[in-house]
Structure 1
Amino acid sequence: MSDVATKRRRCLFGTDGVRDVANRGSMTPEMALRLGRAYVLFLTERGFPRPKIVVGRDTRRSGPMLEAALAAGMTSAGADVICVGVTPTPSVGFGVRFFSAQGGAVISASHNPAEYNGIKFLDGVGCKLSDEDELSIEDYLGDNLIDEWRPSGASVGSIESRECDFNRQYEDHVLDLVGHVGLDRASILFDCANGALSPIVSDMIGRMGMVNSSAVGNLPDGLNINEKCGVMAMEGLCKEVMARGMSLGIAYDGDADRVLLSDGKGRVLDGDIMLWIIGRWLHSRGELGAGVVATVMSNLALDHHLKADGIDVHRCPVGDRYVFQTMVEKDARLGGEQSGHVIVFPYTKTGDGLCTGFLFLRACNELKEDIDTLVDRFGRFPQKLTNIVVKDKSRVMNDGDIASAVESASKDLGDTGRVFLRPSGTEPLVRLLVECQDPNLMEEISSDLQRRILEMIV
């Protein structure tokens, strides 16, 4: 990859597509149109001369504006576009397969505030594109071909709206995947984050006969997505679950590819606990493959619990795309992050909050787990995360003495803890994570390494 390409990538595509304040910077209608054209050129030059593309969005006010521009760009380059309206990110992945399309696009800024928006592209099986594919699309933006490629007449693409019926088809898909989860008598409070699941959850509650369950955060107005609700504000759901005497709470983010839960005592069940339970369940069914993929930020207690059941844990960098890549490389059928991005290969090909939440409950039901005891039984290792401000992150990360000190501390801890040092992707600092069963030793190691780093940068 050239230095120019690397620099350009940092200015446009991030860890989850292109994202910015809507109508500003890199998220204007003009940029959406050009991105649409670039994506079609990307597909065309890979053997799809008239690609079919599924486009969905979340509930942000800027969504229809960007959808119109993106679809215009795609059709002007010769693609046929199927607009499915307000729908979760994972349902667009389903839609790619359902409509036998060659690609997909989601207009969403996920967990960000309402003024933001973004565009992420999917491949022909409904998965997020690789870093290399995104860079290729970005390269087209600087190519004269993007302006010269002008189909006319019958070669201009078409736009078809499937907003009226698509979400119902996605619901059918989820119900087929999760099977019988025995929730008709459960009292569950769903928090839709005023996002893409808002038009779906209430219907699902009725279809599953969940007469004691209800939803909050399901009245989007275009400006309240993720506002004091959903996975970004779990304290609200936890308090409401206890106040209403509900047995469980389930929260999603704006585009519903993430899910977190609250037990009946108002305690958060994060991605680590979901991986622990779903991993054991899949293992019992012979569907787990080579084990579970977790990021470097997952608690070491997860490794210890799964190891006790003969299940391997494979670590990867932070980011659901790296979880997916590692799952493919290792032939693991389950992976995820603490934040609630969980991918269950036998059932989904991307993070799907609605499906994951129901699969977790099905796993608890079949394993006869008491959900209110999971937090206590998981028993997290104490962790200390320290953000250390530095002028030159690469100097710290490449310093031999610091690397040796980190390696030595890790060896001393063995399987009772770990040390992890990484640079921030957006700020002038490095993050030092020390995790250890012994909290006193954790403090000692953290203080020593922090002192060494600070002495080096003085």
Structure 2
Amino acid sequence: MTLIKSISGIRGTIGGPAGDTLNPLDIVKFTSAYATFIRRSGKSNSNKIVVGRDARISGEMVKNVVCGTLMGMGYDVINIGLATTPTTELAVRMSGADGGIIITASHNPRHWNALKLLNHEGEFLTKADGNEVLSIAEKEDFEYADVDNLGKYVEDNTFDQRHIESVLALELVDVEAIKNSHFKVVVDSVNSVGGIILPELLDKLGVEYKFLNGEANGDFAHNPEPLEKNLGGIMDELKKGGYDLGIVVDPDVDRLAFIQEDGKMYGEEYTLVTVADYILDHVKGATVSNLSSTRALRDVTEKHGCKYYAAAVGEVNVTTKMKEVGAVIGGEGNGGVIYPESHYGRDALVGIALFLSSLAQKNVKVSELRASFPNYFIAKNRIDLTPSTDVDAILVQVKEKYGKEPDVQVTDIDGVKLDFPTKWVHLRKSNTEPIIRVYSEASTMEEADALGKQLMQIVYDMQK
């Protein structure tokens, strides 16, 4: 059983002893700390906090504890019910709330849940703000409201529709072209909230669809991370023929992957690449992704005569960099599309609408669209260490070893990334385990894996 407290919130497995799992006592403690932080920040004074959740089996229990605690802290609660992460983010902004809590463990298995914390702009807390929440929780430095100042509770189920309307209103979402294309798609919403909101979006876009795992009961039919090894069902359905595209989302609908019409994976790294290429066809500007994302985004950006920037891993790091450079599109290679014209958060609905707009305007098959982009492969490995290993010292040694190489660009804003002329490798330490994650990319999977293993051996040799 596991309980992980981090700057982005609290997550863990359900059931077990207090302090070791995600249980009511720790939910109360962390929610109280968050409410205390929001009040002290003074960024907004509506006295309202939005709560939304995915369809996890434990979601109802966690929601009840969160909402009751917020009311006990004197906050009015706007419960938007079963809702995607981007819907909840938008609801904070649309309602003028002081903040929001999203109850979701994203792509983690069914026995996990989490609280993700938003500021008054509907965006994830910064590292400094997250650390302040952790500090308040550790000290239990909070005070509850007296009986005359308890918060009120309302339910508002309008935000799905408002979210969809905001997507359709985006200038580069070509609703007419999508409708005229008469797309036929298969969707795997992994038994969560995508099965509620995506049919409404696709209806508005005139897309014919079939859903797999569409019932939002939280009993995930397969591992919910949208990776090829978990998507045999939808890939087999596409291979039967008669479909233009497969669409896959994770339980809270902020990650997006596609399946080609021939049943092959489009590649989750290429969700952002494709959307960015479409955006840059119409609007020139900078792009941003994290250091562990495919080089294809840089290539596509430079093809359009624009500038690409890399950010540290983590959505808040990407959005911070996007604001800094005025990026027109950004995101993460895990299928996360962040489009500032909508909001600064990963949003699969926005990604679907922009991807279909590109497909409709170019009038090509999905496999043909994929073939138009540079082809890269990412290998993912890990180095297991002992708890006493000085990971930072090892990464410094790697940086020093390659820093003098003329054909290697070294980036150290998040671990160490080594950019070679035709490939790269990124080493970063885990925040929760004594391991170093080793991601590497090249023009073939064999070359990518070989590069990763080469660096792994160097690290092993450094420990001798």
Matched, 1:457 2:441: no
Q: Partners in 1 of 2:333 and 2:8 — Cα distance?
A: 17
What fraction of aligned residue pairs are identical, expressed as a percent?
24
Residue of structure 2 in register with 1:168 after alignment: 161
Any idea what the Cα deviations from partners look like across 1:195-234, whole Å, max 9, x if unmatched? 1122222233333333x32212111333x23625672423
Residue of structure 2 in register with 1:156 after alignment: 150
Any idea what the Cα deviations from partners look like across 1:149-204, whole Å, max 9, x if unmatched? 43331x211000124x4433333333333351533411111111111122222233
Q: Partners in 1 of 2:303 and 2:31 — Cα distance?
A: 49
Residue of structure 1 in register with 2:361 after alignment: 366
CA deviation after TM superposition for structure 1 residue 32, in Å = 1.9
* Equivalent in 179, 185, 188 of residue 191 of structure 1: 188
When residues 239 and 149 of structure 1 are mapped into structure 2, their CA distance, relative to the original with a 3 A threshold, is: same
Aligned to 2:124, the other structure's residue is in SS state: coil
Residue of structure 2 in register with 1:217 after alignment: 213
Matched, 1:56 2:52: yes
| Structure 2: gaps spanning 5 or more residues | 410-418
CA deviation after TM superposition for structure 1 residue 367, in Å = 4.5
Residue of structure 1 in register with 2:302 after alignment: 307
Residue of structure 1 in register with 2:337 after alignment: 342
Residue of structure 1 in register with 2:435 after alignment: 429
Residue of structure 2 in register with 1:6 after alignment: none
Q: Partners in 1 of 2:351 and 2:450 — Cα distance?
A: 38
| Structure 1: gaps spanning 5 or more residues | 1-9
Tell whether the 8 Å contact from 1:267 to 1:375 is kept in structure 2 after alignment.
no
Written as runs of structure 1 = structure 2, the 5 A alignment for 1:231-250 is: 231-232=226-227, 233-250=230-247
Aligned to 2:405, the other structure's residue is in SS state: helix
How many residue pairs get aligned? The number is 441
Q: Which of 317-326 and 251-260 deviates more?
A: 317-326
When residues 246 and 46 of structure 1 are mapped into structure 2, their CA distance, relative to the original with a 3 A threshold, is: same
Aligned to 2:231, the other structure's residue is in SS state: helix
Residue of structure 2 in register with 1:263 after alignment: 260
CA deviation after TM superposition for structure 1 residue 385, in Å = 4.3
Q: Partners in 1 of 2:4 and 2:459 — Cα distance?
A: 32
CA root-mean-square deviation: 2.8
Matched, 1:72 2:68: yes
CA deviation after TM superposition for structure 1 residue 143, in Å = 3.8
Q: Partners in 2 of 1:176 and 1:37 — Cα distance?
A: 37
When residues 348 and 226 of structure 1 are mapped into structure 2, their CA distance, relative to the original with a 3 A threshold, is: farther
Any idea what the Cα deviations from partners look like across 1:273-320, whole Å, max 9, x if unmatched? 23333223322322x53x111122222233223212212211122222
When residues 29 and 385 of structure 1 are mapped into structure 2, their CA distance, relative to the original with a 3 A threshold, is: closer
Written as runs of structure 1 = structure 2, the 5 A alignment for 1:22-421 is: 22-24=14-16, 25-47=20-42, 48=44, 51-143=47-139, 145-146=141-142, 148-153=143-148, 155-163=149-157, 165-177=158-170, 178-180=173-175, 182-184=177-179, 185-210=182-207, 212-222=208-218, 224-225=219-220, 227-228=222-223, 231-232=226-227, 233-286=230-283, 288-289=284-285, 291-391=286-386, 392=389, 393-399=391-397, 403-405=400-402, 408=405, 411=408, 414-421=420-427
Q: Which of 308-317 and 21-30 deviates more?
A: 21-30
When residues 51 and 378 of structure 1 are mapped into structure 2, their CA distance, relative to the original with a 3 A threshold, is: same
When residues 214 and 315 of structure 1 are mapped into structure 2, their CA distance, relative to the original with a 3 A threshold, is: same
Matched, 1:19 2:11: yes
Residue of structure 2 in register with 1:5 after alignment: none
**TM-score, structure 2 as length reference:** 0.86
Residue of structure 2 in register with 1:3 after alignment: none
